[in-house]
Each structure stands twice: as structure tokens, then as C-alpha cells.
């Protein structure tokens, strides 16, 4: 995870505080359950600053948050090692998010796909880009390991991680996310 991830919110510039506040609230309250005033309050930002930094409003903020998260995940995957370590690491991050309460409504991808994408072609396109970037990184790693169908592995891996997080959330057992992914990797010959 990058150094900016550990910086206290109050020490960040206004745009970054709004971005982090929006990301947190979308994942804990959902896209539709989060109002602009709540984002500004959590970010300790003045009225009007959200629209100054994100002229497209909450939709633009959600897309920017998704792109920021994509960068964080790609950085993590670049440091994780092989494809199996990458997938297990993603599951561990999901489990950690569930343990901390940061993912009360699920991953940002799941929240936006369920709540915002149906009415927002821009968010839907950003979700496709996000998913493609993660799957490409996983497929590249798997191809380096000699996998004949690395794209299929990447598709399955992302689906399993997202689904495992949903089950872990429903069961209120964050460790289940890691256990489900580990079992899939074992059954997939990993």
C-alpha cells in the first residue's frame, strides 16, 4: 500500500480528503446512502468544495475513488509476488476491510455495480476499466507462471474474491474470505 494510504485524513489537501471520505462512506453506507453533505462533513471541507474539485458531483467522485483504488490495488499486486499470492492478498485485504468495518456495504466495485452503474453509464464504464486492469495484472502474472489460460484464471480469481467477500460479510466471518479463496486455489491446482 502506498505511503499516502497511511497519512491521516486531516493532513491531506482538501481534494484528497474529499476523495478518501467519499470512498469510506460509499463502502460503509453505500452510494445512494451517502449524501454530499456527509462527505464534506467527514472530509472537514467547506461547502462547495466537492463541486470545485469534482464538477460532476458525487458521480465524478465515485469514478475518481474507483480509479484511485485501482492504482492502490495495482501497486499492491505489483509487490505481491506470484498470481496465487496476489489473489490471497486481495482476499486478505477484503477480510481486513470487513474486520475494521471499512467494507460494511462491500467492496467499492460491488457497491457501485449494484447501486450506481445501472443508472450511470460513466460509472459502468469506470467499473469495466477497473475490472479489466485488475484481471490483466492477474493474467500477466499467471502467464509468467506458464498457465495456458491466464485470462480464465484472472476472471475466476476476481469473481471468487468478490464473491468470497460477500459471503464473509453475510456470515460475519471475515476470515471466510481468505478461506474460500485458498480452497479455490487448491482445487484449481494452485
Kindly report the CATH number assigned to the domain that includes residue 110: 1.10.357.10
pLDDT 10s digits, 143-173: 999 999 999 999 999 999 999 999 998 999 9
Query: Is the predicted pLDDT of residue 14 greater than 60, yes or no?
Result: yes
pLDDT 10s digits, 115-140: 988 899 999 999 999 999 999 999 99
> 50 by DSSP, 3-state: which?
helix
Confidence at 190, pLDDT banded by 50, 70, 90: low
| Cα dihedral across residues 69, 71, 74, 78: positive or negative | negative
Report how far apart the first and last C-alpha atoms of the chain are (Å, whole number): 25
The range of the structural domain enclosing residue 49 comes to 3-187
Amino acid at each position: 500500500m502506498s505511503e499516502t494510504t497511511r497519512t491521516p485524513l486531516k493532513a491531506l489537501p482538501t481534494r484528497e480528503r474529499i476523495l478518501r471520505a467519499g470512498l469510506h462512506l460509499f463502502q460503509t453506507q453505500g452510494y445512494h446512502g451517502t449524501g454530499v453533505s456527509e462527505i464534506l462533513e467527514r472530509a472537514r471541507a467547506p461547502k462547495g468544495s466537492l463541486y470545485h474539485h469534482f464538477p460532476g458531483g458525487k458521480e465524478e467522485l465515485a469514478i475518481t475513488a474507483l480509479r484511485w483504488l485501482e492504482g492502490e490495488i495495482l501497486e499492491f499486486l505489483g509487490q505481491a509476488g506470484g498470481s496465487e499470492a496476489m489473489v490471497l492478498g486481495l482476499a486478505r485485504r477484503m477480510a481486513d476491510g470487513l474486520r475494521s468495518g471499512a467494507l460494511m456495504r462491500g467492496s467499492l466495485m460491488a457497491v457501485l455495480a449494484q447501486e450506481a452503474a445501472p443508472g450511470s453509464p460513466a460509472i459502468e464504464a469506470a467499473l469495466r476499466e477497473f475490472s479489466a486492469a485488475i484481471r490483466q495484472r492477474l493474467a500477466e502474472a499467471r502467464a509468467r507462471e506458464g498457465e495456458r489460460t491466464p485470462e480464465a484464471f484472472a476472471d475466476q480469481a476476481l469473481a471468487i474474491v468478490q464473491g468470497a467477500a460477500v459471503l464473509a460479510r453475510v456470515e460475519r466471518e471475515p476470515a471466510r474470505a481468505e478461506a474460500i479463496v485458498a480452497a479455490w486455489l487448491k482445487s484449481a491446482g494452485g
